[in-house]
Amino acid sequence: MGTVRARPGARPRLLERAAAVLDDHATAVADVHGAQKLLWETTRSNLDELGKTFGRT
């Protein structure tokens, strides 16, 4: 396997983002939970709409 090379500036940016997550882990977790909630609500809404479309309410 070859060596994976990051584009210039990617590594410091990644380290910066990782440090931010570690510095404020609770906020990072809350952000993920918020995104998961939105995705689940969207999924439920889509399922409800599909149920109506196909007569499975």
Each residue's pLDDT tens digit, 6-31: 666 678 888 988 898 889 989 989 99
**What global pTM score does this model have?**
0.57
> Which of the four pLDDT bands, split at 50, 70 and 90, describes residue 52?
very high
Structural domain including 43 reads: 25-51
Domain membership flag for residue 4: no
User: Are the CB atoms for 22 and 16 separated by under 8 Å?
Assistant: no
Dist. CA 34–CA 38, nearest whole Å: 6
13, two tokens: 């940016």
Residue 47 included in any domain: yes
41 located within any domain? yes
| Assigned token pair, 7 | 């584009």
Q: 18 exposed, middle or buried (CB, 10 Å; 0-12, 13-18, 19+)?
A: exposed
Tokens of 36: 């998961």
